[in-house]
């Protein structure tokens, strides 16, 4: 295997007691909002994540790429999504014939697993891939020794189709009756660790839960825990989360809570029947997050029992903001079960249902911000980031104000492992790394941060430099915000600062040209069915 390295030399942060390189666990959840876990302001019970935050480090301004596939591409490669070929979504059906929009990971990028695997790490993945369904671009082709999970973006939690063990598909009819993907992904991750742990080599685990992405499926005991808790409605809950966030110092008091999404009615204006139904959907969603937390607790306990927890870096984050899809109250996509009648409500959350919760609750999940998954306003791109590393993080419980982006995950893994980013890999030239390591923040040292950060997804555009953010929701005009005073983007300053708007727009255009971003209108003409399918707006 031909690998040439860039000469970017870093020193591995070895455990001072053992002299060993750290294990690295990257936990990615799906469609979870900024405010959906306890240590970021939620009423949902997440004691295990709260413990990781209390004994680790939280970031309050960390960004993703606003959608499943682009974030996954960026997080694994340290590049912006268009540079990897996944400027939109993945094949089949998303190859627009442009380098930044081929719908699969290209060979001008290299994954964390490929780099760490070539430097002596074991590499495992358990969970949702969603970076290609092509037979030559599966997890085992991109550096993972072991894989278990789903290739697709969404599916049944109790009997999923497209479930893979390495390259072999698993028949859903062969799964046990109590199968649930969140539990299964954790169990298989632990199986991988236990299988290889005796040889003493460090490992990289990418644990990518498909929860809490729709369909809303949860175990009965997890739903029951939250029954009735959401009948107070989204307006009250949003305000409560906002006040909790201020108390936790996750947000500044001077940032106003953004207005309720204009496409969502006031809770008091909907029928009692609709209140019961939408509250139940949110109870299922809460149960899904609760189950994630239970599984993270199980993982951490097992690592402790194995004696390897102290030398393991765990990073936890979400791939995008909470999901609006589709409409104010979500969808009920069922053939046999319409779920429109009260007598069928008890089936919501079971394998008989295939539902989402809609804008009304994603607006709560993204508290205090505007908009949702797909958009690049703060609600679509802001994620919790918890870093936990007993032997590597010096100030426990700190909330960092460092600005970061998912491109930084690769750089961080390189930094703590001592690996080098390659100029070439398996005969292919590799694009220069975009990310900046977070490791100095772990040790309370000065970090080399970003000069600016750019976004584009399906015409939604943004550029962030210093405290200034220029952003547009396709096809609207540019908006300009000073995030120091107004992170919730409630006071558009574009008319007040025309020269700053022009300066920022020029910077965006330069970033877009150099990162394979195309104007959305010419791109989406290759997507002939876009007019008849669901899209943001």
Residue 436: partners with Cβ closer than 8 Å, 6 or more residues away? 404, 407, 408, 411, 447, 448, 449, 450
Residue 222: partners with Cβ closer than 8 Å, 6 or more residues away? 287, 288, 290, 291
- Pull the structure tokens for residue 127: 């969970």
Residue 234: partners with Cβ closer than 8 Å, 6 or more residues away? 260, 264, 267, 360, 361, 363, 364
Strand-by-strand arrangement of the 460-465 sheet? 453-457, 460-465, 468-472, 479-482
Whole-number Å distance between alpha carbons of 340 and 277: 9
Distance of CA 52 to the CA centre of its chain: 18
Q: Which of 65, 68, 109, 360 is catalytic?
A: 68
Q: Is the dihedral of CA 479, 483, 489, 490 positive or negative?
A: negative
DSSP letter, residue 370:
S
Residue 130: active-site member? yes
Q: Give the CA distances from residue 316 to residues 71, 206, 386, in Å, rounded to whole numbers and listed in that order.
A: 14, 10, 5
Whole-number Å distance between alpha carbons of 479 and 492: 6
Residues in the chain, how many?
537
- Pull the structure tokens for residue 337: 């079960």
Among 36, 205, 11, which Cα is nearest to 123's?
Answer: 205
Q: Give the largest CA-CA distance in the chain.
A: 65
Cis, peptide link before residue 12, omega less than 30° from 0: no
Whole-number Å distance between alpha carbons of 322 and 234: 14
Among 93, 92, 98, which Cα is nearest to 84's?
Answer: 98
Residue 450: active-site member? no
Q: What angle do CA 21, 26, 29 make, to 5 degrees?
A: 170
Whole-number Å distance between alpha carbons of 466 and 322: 26
Q: Which of 69, 109, 122, 130 is catalytic?
A: 130
Residue 433: partners with Cβ closer than 8 Å, 6 or more residues away? 6, 8, 78, 79, 407, 410, 411, 414, 421
- Pull the structure tokens for residue 295: 């599984």
Which residues are the active-site residues? Answer: 68, 130
């Amino acid at each position: 295997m031909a690998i040439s390295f860039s000469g970017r030399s870093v020193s591995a942060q070895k455990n001072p007691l053992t002299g060993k390189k750290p294990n690295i666990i990257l936990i990615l959840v799906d469609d979870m909002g900024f405010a959906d876990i306890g240590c970021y302001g939620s009423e949902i019970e997440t004691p295990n994540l709260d413990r990781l935050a209390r004994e680790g480090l939280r970031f309050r301004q960390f960004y993703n790429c606003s959608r499943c596939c682009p974030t996954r591409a960026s997080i694994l490669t340290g590049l912006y999504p268009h540079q990897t070929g996944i400027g939109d979504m993945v094949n089949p059906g998303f190859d627009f014939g442009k380098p930044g929009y081929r719908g699969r990971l290209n060979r001008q990028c290299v994954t964390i697993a490929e780099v760490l695997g070539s430097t002596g790490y074991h590499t495992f993945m358990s969970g949702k891939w969603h970076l290609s369904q092509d037979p030559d671009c599966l997890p085992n082709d991109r550096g993972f020794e072991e894989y278990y999970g789903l290739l697709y973006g969404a599916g049944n939690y109790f009997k999923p189709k497209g479930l893979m063990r390495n390259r072999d598909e698993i028949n859903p009819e062969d799964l046990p009756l109590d199968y649930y993907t969140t539990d299964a992904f954790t169990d298989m991750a632990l199986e991988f660790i236990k299988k290889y742990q005796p040889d003493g080599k460090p490992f990289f685990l990418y644990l990518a839960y498909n929860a809490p992405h729709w369909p809303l499926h949860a175990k009965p005991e997890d739903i029951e825990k939250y029954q009735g808790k959401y009948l107070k409605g989204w307006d009250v809950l949003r305000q409560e989360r906002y006040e909790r966030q201020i108390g936790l110092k996750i947000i500044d008091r001077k940032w106003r809570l953004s207005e309720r999404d204009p496409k969502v009615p006031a809770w008091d204006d909907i029928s009692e029947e609709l209140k019961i139904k939408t509250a139940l959907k949110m109870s299922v969603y809460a149960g899904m997050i609760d189950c994630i937390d239970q599984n993270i607790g199980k993982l951490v306990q097992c690592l402790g029992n194995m004696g390897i927890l102290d030398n393991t870096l765990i990073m936890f984050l979400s791939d995008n903001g909470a999901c609006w899809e589709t409409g104010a109250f979500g969808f009920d996509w069922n053939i046999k079960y319409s779920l429109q009648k009260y007598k069928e409500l008890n089936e919501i959350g079971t394998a008989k249902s295939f539902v989402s919760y809609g804008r009304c609750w994603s607006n709560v999940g993204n508290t205090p911000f505007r908009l949702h998954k797909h958009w690049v306003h703060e609600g679509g791109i802001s994620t919790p980031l918890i870093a936990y590393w007993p032997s590597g993080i010096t100030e426990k419980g700190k909330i960092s104000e460092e600005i970061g982006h998912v491109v930084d995950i690769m750089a961080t893994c390189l930094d703590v492992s001592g690996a080098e980013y390659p100029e070439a890999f398996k005969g292919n030239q590799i694009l220069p790394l975009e990310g900046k390591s977070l490791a100095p923040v772990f040790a309370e040292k000065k970090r080399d941060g970003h000069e600016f950060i750019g976004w584009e997804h399906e015409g939604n555009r943004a550029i962030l430099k210093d405290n200034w953010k220029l952003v547009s929701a396709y096809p609207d005009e540019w908006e300009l915000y000073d995030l120091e005073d107004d992170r919730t983007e409630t006071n558009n300053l574009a008319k007040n600062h025309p020269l700053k708007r022009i300066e920022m727009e020029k910077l965006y255009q330069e970033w877009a040209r150099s990162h394979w971003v195309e104007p959305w209108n010419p791109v989406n003409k290759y997507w002939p069915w876009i007019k008849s399918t669901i899209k943001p707006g």
